[in-house]
Amino acid sequence: MLGYIIRRILAVIPVMTIVAIFVFLLLRLTPGDPAAIIAGDMATPAQLERIRTSLGLSDPLHVQFVTWVGLLLKGELGTSLISNTPVTQMIGQRIWPTFNIAVLTIVLSVLIAVPMGVLAAWRHRTWVDYAVMAFSVLGFSIPVFVIGYLFIQAFAIELRWFPVQGYAAPSEGFGKFLARAILPCLTLATIYVALIARMTRASMLEVLGEDYIRTARAKGVKETVVLFRHALRNAAVPIMTIIGTGFALLIGGVVVTESVFNIPGIGRLTVDAILARDYPVIQGMILLTSGLYVFINLVIDLSYTFFDPRIRY
């Protein structure tokens, strides 16, 4: 068991190494002068020079890599080309709104999606099932910003239930936070709910056909117990997996949603960095989110041992 945990944790190292190499090469292997790409068409030679020194682009590639990794291991992601502040500091200032919204979204999504999926599987081929499936296809098909604007139009502008845009930290009062966070969270949750509900349904359908479900029914166990005690726990591993891989979708959603709702999180930071071609910030964001993704999926992998005693590797 411990061996499995250690091996799983060690397996993170090659993945993160390759991500780092990839991020490093992304800029350096782009055809043309990277400094010119970053600076744009209107750059002066002095600006180009400043970018080159800032990113260390004049050194040989391997030297650049060693320096870059060295800084990375010390937790330094470089300095913004625009504001000249360290990227880590910029991320540190902006991460909390994103974190709060993301956590609320995940909790909300799981609470909505899992019962939806269970219900759909249980009432397979009835209107309940079709409704859940229709919702999930819709959730996949509407761009997240369109959903955001629809929500704003309906709930903020027409019904005036919530403020149109903006953000308040939970420390300013939880009600105030919730009033501003609920629309962005619902927006973000749409695709996540669609994804999880779909996987829950598929996984439950598979499990409900298993012999041990028939055994449970043969014991005279109630349907709710069959569904939640016997089936759901067996169906949990693929559901957990999709929650983990769906995290990448959530990141994409965060970037968009923060722009729509004007939330000062790291998503907005990224968008601003793209528009300004602030490469160190983009790079830092990719590393941060990839690291988070790998970490979350590691935790989920380890959680399998809780759901399924057979996983002991």
Q: How far is the CB of 17 from another protein (least distance, A)?
A: 8
Give the nearest distance from C-beta 132 to another protein in angstroms. 13
The span of 48-56, 73-81, 99-107, 273-281 binding another protein (CB under 8 A) equals 273-281
Q: What angle do CA 137, 140, 141 make, to 5 degrees?
A: 85
Residue 200 binding another protein, by CB under 8 A: no
206 class by beta-carbon count within 10 Å (0-12 exposed, 13-18 middle, 19+ buried): middle
**Residues of span 74-113 touching another protein by CB under 8 A:** none
The binder of another protein chosen from 79, 100, 105, 203 (CB under 8 A): 203
State which of residues 33, 67, 103, 143 lies at the interface with another protein (CB under 8 A). Answer: 143
| Minimum distance from residue 144 beta carbon to another protein (Å) | 7
Going by C-alpha positions, the residue among 249, 255, 228 that lies closest to residue 98 is 255
CB 204 within 8 A of CB 124: no
List the helix and strand counts (H, then E) for the chain.
14, 0
The full length of the chain comes to 313
Does 212 participate in binding another protein (rule CB under 8 A)? yes
Is 241 among the residues that bind another protein (CB under 8 A)?
Answer: yes
Residue 177 CB, nearest approach to another protein (Å):
24
Piece of 49-57, 67-75, 76-84, 277-285 that binds another protein (CB under 8 A): 277-285
Among the listed ranges 58-66, 67-75, 78-86, 226-234, the one in contact with another protein (CB under 8 A) is 226-234
CB of 172 to another protein, least distance (A): 25
Which range of residues in 45-53, 86-94, 100-108, 145-153 is near another protein by CB under 8 A? 145-153
- Separation in Å, CA 172 to CA 180, 259, 260: 12, 22, 22
Residue 247: Cβ within 10 Å count: 19
Under 8 Å between Cβ of 62 and 84 = no
Least distance to another protein, CB of residue 308, Å: 6
CB of 285 to another protein, least distance (A): 6
Q: What is the C-alpha radius of gyration for the chain, rounded to an integer number of angstroms? A: 23
Tokens encoding 23: 């991020």
Which region, judged by CB under 8 A, interacts with another protein, from 51-59, 78-86, 167-175, 216-224? 216-224
Q: Which of 120, 181, 285, 301 binds another protein (CB under 8 A)?
A: 285
Distance (Å, whole) CA 179 – CA 198: 29
- How many other C-beta atoms can be found within 10 angstroms of the C-beta atom of residue 115? 15
What one-letter code names the amino acid at 69? V
Site pattern 27..66 for another protein (x: CB under 8 A):
x--xx--x--x-----------------------------
Select 64 or 170, whichever has its Cβ closest to another protein.
64
Helix/strand/coil (H/E/C) assignment for every residue in 126-160: CHHHHHHHHHHHHHHHCCHHHHHHHHHHHHHHHCC
